Each structure stands twice: as C-alpha cells, then as structure tokens.
Amino acid sequence: MKLRTFVPVLLIVVLVAVSPMLAQEASGGLRYSITVSKFENRAGWHGQWDIGDAWGTILTDMLNQTGRFIVLGETDMRMEALNEQDFAASGRTAQGKKAPVTGQMTPAQLLVKGAITHVQYDTGGGGGAIRIGGFRVGGKGKKAEINVTIYVVDSTTGQVMASKSITAVGKDKGMRIGYDTGGWGAAFGGHKKDNLGKAVEAACAQAVDFIVAQLPNIPWTGTVVLAKNGKVYVNRGAREGVQPGQEFIVGEVEVLRDPDTGEVLDESMEEVARLRVDRVKEKLSICSVVSGDPGRIRKGMGVHLP
C-alpha cells in the first residue's frame, strides 16, 4: 500500500476508535438505561432465521459490551417479566423471597427502534451460483448487503432524538467489527458465519457507535433522595457509572410546557449548590456540599452534570 493511501486509512481507523472514547469523556462516563425493540422486517426477506430477532439479539449484546448503558431486556422479555409479576401478585403461586414483585422494574430512558428496509444477496455478482426465490445462493464472491433505519427515542416525551440510515456489507473476507458477538448464530441455526449474518453484525456495530456518539447531547439527570446531616443522597450509583470525586449541581428544576399541547419545551435549573460524590453504592450516591447553601437542598430537587 502506498504511503499517501495508507495515511488517510490510518486516520479513519484512529477516528473510529477514538470517537466513542470522546463521547464517554464528554458525558462523564455515566450510563443511561436503554432497551431495544424488535426491528420490523420491511425488506421482505425470509430465510432459515428471523432477521429481526437476530438484529435485536446482536444489538442488545453490543450495547452491553460498551459499558455505557444499563441494558434492559428487549420489549418482549420485559412483557414476560410483567406477566410473571402479575401472576405472582394473583396469589396463585408459592410466595417466598424469590417470587417476582411489582414496582421494581428499571425504566428505560432511551428506546431504540427501527426497520430493516432492504436485504440483498450477492451484490458483487459472483459466478457459479444458482437463484432461489429471486436470490443468488452460492458461488464465488458472494456477499450480502443490509439497509437499516434506526431511531433513538426519549421514553419520557416519545420524541425521536436521533436517527440514522445504515448500510453494511458482509463478505467472505471482512474486517473485524470490534465487538465480540460470541456464538449468537447458534440460536439462529448457526448462521453467524454466513455473509448475511456478517452484514447484520457490521450494521449493528455502526448502530452502536452512532448511539454512543449521541450521548453528549442527551441530558443525564438524577434526583435528591435525602438531605441530612450535611450529606446529600442522590438516586444514581455505581450502576449508572457514578464514581467517587465526581461533581454535580443541584437545584430547583422548572419544566417549561407548551400551554396549548402540554408538550415539554425545555427545562431550566436554578442552581442551589454543587456536590462532590464521597461514597457510591449500587443505586445510590452519598455526596458532600462543596459550594452553595446546604440548607436549601430538599428532597426531589434535580441533579445535573455541571
């Protein structure tokens, strides 16, 4: 490879590797709860495995690997959990410490949904193949292409915060995608290694990088649970990525709503004090007041990044 070709390629590789790190630094390394809905198969592709289910499985796994999210079960699994809770609450099950209880489901701040809009095999036109149902199967040079539209939705407002159209190609010889997708293909008839499986993995990797890149634009918030004896307890902990020494601002949050529709237009905070995290538990942080008026801090006040 010539030097003038190698340098731009190297620059692209470095930027791809560094951009998620920059997003993490900008948002303080804090985590957001997220869940993936099953993607609609609008491409009309049908094979020996369900492409929508495979997409949800891989994307959920990759999001979890980033360490940037509290990844919740896919929508169908959360519904199953709710059904189990309702069944246990009906009184028809043996009651004990391991029985599922209501009121403890973790809510998702971000929802990921979208649609698979196009699937095509053998876009390279390799030879020696046969056509089955309009698709070329087998032959040299076979590859697959997938097109997906992805949306990131704010669960509080239902508004689309970001969207992207993704195109990915799976070939017999391809680059590693940077995520360990393990043996997901075992659940779909071992199709992880075929070219469509590779295309789905590559598209999911692009989707994850896109979602991570949006985090600096998504507000991270918490709430004061208790203020007592000079300590402020915040409902965010190790699960959300909070670390000792981290600083937050606390104050009264005013929500500005459209008087005609009730839609949230904006939020503003009147800063009362600044907090520093002393101790971190799984779902709770214990903070000291480093500036401002401790006497004005009340339960229910908002907590934001500086």
The string of DSSP letters for the chain reads --HHHHHHHHHHHHHHHHHHHHHHHHTTT--EEEEEPPPEE-S----SS-HHHHHHHHHHHHHHHHTSEEEPPPHHHHHHHHHHHHHHHTT-S--STTS--SS-PPPPSEEEEEEEEEEEE-TT--SS-EEETTEEESSTT-EEEEEEEEEEEETTT--EEEEEEEEEEEESS----SS--TTGGGGGTTGGGSHHHHHHHHHHHHHHHHHHHHGGGS--EEEEEEEETTEEEES--GGGT--TT-EEEEEEEEEEE-TTT--EEEEEEEEEEEEEEEEE-SS-EEEEEEEE-GGG--TT-EEE--
Beta carbons within 10 angstroms of residue 42's beta carbon: 16
- Pick from 7-21, 76-90, 258-272, 282-296: least confident: 7-21
Per-residue pLDDT at 299 exceeds 90: yes
Per-residue pLDDT at 138 exceeds 80: no
CATH (domain of 279): 2.40.10.410
152 and 42 inside one domain: yes
Per-residue pLDDT at 35 exceeds 50: yes
Domain that holds residue 126: 3-91+98-217
Average pLDDT of the chain is 77
232 and 207 inside one domain: no
69 and 210 inside one domain: yes
Per-residue pLDDT at 94 exceeds 80: no
Q: What is the pLDDT of residue 193?
A: 72
195 and 246 inside one domain: no
Segment 88-101 shows an average pLDDT of 57
Q: Which carries the bigger pLDDT value, residue 127 or residue 116?
A: 116
292 and 186 inside one domain: no
Please identify, among 194, 217, 240, the residue that sits at the C-terminal boundary of a domain: 217
**pTM passes above 0.95:** no
CATH (domain of 69): 3.40.50
Please identify, among 217, 237, 252, the residue that sits at the C-terminal boundary of a domain: 217
Please identify, among 166, 190, 217, the residue that sits at the C-terminal boundary of a domain: 217
pLDDT over 90 for what percent of the chain?
A: 38
Per the structure block, which two tokens stand in for 210?
A: 């896109």
296 and 154 inside one domain: no
Segment 267-293 shows an average pLDDT of 92
Segment 38-54 shows an average pLDDT of 85
Q: What is the pLDDT of residue 21?
A: 41
Total number of domains in the chain: 2
234 and 200 inside one domain: no
257 and 118 inside one domain: no
156 and 262 inside one domain: no
Residue whose token pair is 């979602």:
211
Q: Summarize pLDDT for 202-235 with one digit per residue, the tens.
A: 999 999 999 999 988 888 888 999 999 989 999 9
Per-residue pLDDT at 185 exceeds 60: yes
113 and 197 inside one domain: yes
193 and 229 inside one domain: no
Q: Summarize pLDDT for 160-180 with one digit per residue, the tens.
A: 889 999 999 987 665 567 788
**Cα-Cα-Cα-Cα dihedral of 285, 161, 149, 114, to 10°?**
60
- Pick from 21-25, 78-82, 263-267: least confident: 21-25
74 and 210 inside one domain: yes
Most confident residue range from 13-22, 35-44, 92-101: 35-44
